Amino acid sequence: MAWVLDRYDFKVRIDAYTNEIVPGAVGIPESYDPWDITSPRANKARQLMQYYALGSGKIDRITGFGDGHPLKEHAATDPKNQRLELSIVVN
């Protein structure tokens, strides 16, 4: 995908999300912060896209949204909210 996106006049937006998790719940540290998950996740996706041929000038933005944007059809705690969205921006 990175190879194709690099060859056309597109830019890419990378957005990462996670589900709502209660800090202190079983296995979840008190210091848990959803931003600490989604921002690095979005950045890692950018790194992988660049590794596989996407030029750095093709990235429009990378954003970690934490747990603030759950999918409408799922509860905020649903693991399906752990997602990465790639959007193609036509110039």
And the tokens for 34?
Answer: 């959803």
DSSP state of 30: T
> Count of domains in the chain?
1
- Enclosing domain of residue 63: 2-90
Average pLDDT for residues 2-23, to the nearest whole number? 87
pLDDT, averaged across the chain: 89
Model confidence at 8, pLDDT cuts 50, 70, 90, reads confident
Which one-letter amino acid corresponds to residue 58? K
- Model pTM? 0.84
Q: What is the DSSP letter of 55?
A: -
pLDDT at 26 over 70: no
CATH number assigned to the domain comprising residue 69: 3.30.1330.60
**What is the model's pLDDT at position 1?**
78
Say how far apart CA 61 and CA 59 lie, in whole Å: 6
